[in-house]
Amino acid sequence: MKINSNYDKIQNSYLFVEIANRVKKYTAAHPDADIIKLGIGDVTRPLAPCVVEAGLKAVAEMGRVETFRGYSPDSQGYEFLRDAISRYYSLFGVKVAPHEIHVSDGAKSDCGNIVDLFDSDNTVLIPDPVYPVYLDSNVMSGRKIIFCDATEENDFAPLPDKKVKCDIIYLCAPNNPTGSVFTYDKLKAWVDYANSLGAVIIFDAAYEAFVTQPDVPRSIFAVEGARTCAIELCSYSKTAGFTGTRCGYTVVPDELLGGKLAKMWARRQSTKFNGTSYIQQRMAEAAYSDEGIRQCRENIAAYQKNAKLISDALTEMGVYHTGGVNSPYIWLKCGTDSWDFFDRLLEGANVVGTPGSGFGKNGEGYFRLTAFNTYEKTKEAIERIKKVL
């Protein structure tokens, strides 16, 4: 037996483990410390009431012989949900047909699994810093990786370098961890670049619901030319609070390699995936009802309020930062090594954030704060941070 030796090339995912260890050590020495966590990328507000109601109704259906459901008819997702997603896209002027939508158990699985469609000989372009799954899943399958620098100079939203050749491009906007976005023109530059190379863009739109700027597309398919070069991944985790219940989807447009990639993805999913639960899909559908959209937006607005609180305070303190406007993440320049800053905040303010260096080399010297705690805790954390900065 030979193992996949590419796993030896993956960096230890020590970021959140190391954070937990440092916090544990600190609280062991200071048991009375009131730690505020602004490091988590997980939601804290409960599911919208109409989503819960739809879930309960679906559970009840499963308990009656007339309405019980086993495996879904196909792994792509129930039509009722794909129709609802398609209608949602039309709300912001984007045409995506239900048959182009593939429902899944979340964007992370799709990020990792989509690489099955591509030869290991492809060169992959990944922005740095970014959500680490893109890098790790391609290292696991042995692909050549090149990085694209996201820095303060380009507002952490780099443009393509036309001299660089690649086959697969990852873009994440609004970005985790920097909160940066691509305006229509910037995203169009990527689409044109990908089309000129015959490359594919894997566009991660997990935070689309946080976009507030009118010139920032919430879907790559709002950009002319994207249907011949892009796959879009999306998640309900931060939009509807499904981090614990799990649902997401991927859009593979008909025009991509004349429909071949859509067929391959459907084939891959039907071979290796048996679909998202009926109950979960009914909950996702409920999030698209008028009331569902309103209730989910209320939760998002609460996170946005926290993000603004953090961002305004940093502006007042004269600290360079991005994010917060179209994103639940605030990316600040700490002026020191990211881990030193982590210790300073933990020890001086009892506030936990995430060192930027955990998201790539360009993250060194930066720090991520998240808006997912309560308003009161966020406010308190800011007051404490002000005292140590």
Per CB under 6 A, which region of 100-108, 261-269, 303-311, 312-320 contacts ligand PLP? 100-108
Q: Are 200 and 170 in contact (CB under 8 A)?
A: no
Tell me the two tokens of residue 89.
């896209």
- Residue 241 half-sphere exposure, CB side, CA atoms within 13 Å? 25
106 is a contact residue toward ligand PLP (CB under 6 A): yes
Per CB under 6 A, which region of 8-16, 44-52, 102-110, 115-123 contacts ligand PLP? 102-110
Q: Are 188 and 224 in contact (CB under 8 A)?
A: yes
Q: Report, in Å, the least distance between residue 106 CB and ligand PLP.
A: 3
Tell me the two tokens of residue 161.
């370098």
Q: Report, in Å, the least distance between residue 171 CB and ligand PLP.
A: 10
Exposed, middle or buried: residue 264 (CB in 10 Å: 0-12, 13-18, 19+)? middle
Enumerate helices (H) and strands (E) in the chain, giving the number of each.
11, 13
Tell me the two tokens of residue 251.
């859009």
41 is a contact residue toward ligand PLP (CB under 6 A): yes
- For ligand PLP, the binding residue among 243, 254, 255, 365 (CB under 6 A) is 243
365 is a contact residue toward ligand PLP (CB under 6 A): no
Site map for ligand PLP, 119-158, x if CB under 6 A?
------------x---------------------------
Q: In Å, what is the CA distance from 57 to each residue of 240, 269, 284?
A: 18, 27, 13
Exposed, middle or buried: residue 35 (CB in 10 Å: 0-12, 13-18, 19+)? middle
- For ligand PLP, the binding residue among 77, 248, 275, 328 (CB under 6 A) is 248
DSSP 7: G
- For ligand PLP, the binding residue among 86, 178, 237, 304 (CB under 6 A) is 237
235 is a contact residue toward ligand PLP (CB under 6 A): yes
101 is a contact residue toward ligand PLP (CB under 6 A): no
Q: Are 219 and 92 in contact (CB under 8 A)?
A: yes
Per CB under 6 A, which region of 52-60, 101-109, 121-129, 284-292 contacts ligand PLP? 101-109
Given the complex with ligand PLP, which of 248 and 292 has the nearer CB atom? 248
Residue 331: strand pairing partners: 322, 368
Beta-sheet pairing, 101-104 with 248-251: antiparallel
Tell me the two tokens of residue 68.
């019980």
Q: Report, in Å, the least distance between residue 317 CB and ligand PLP.
A: 26
Per CB under 6 A, which region of 66-74, 106-114, 159-167, 259-267 contacts ligand PLP? 106-114
Q: Report, in Å, the least distance between residue 25 CB and ligand PLP.
A: 26
Residues that bind ligand PLP (CB under 6 A): 41, 106-108, 131, 172, 176, 204, 206, 235, 237, 243, 248
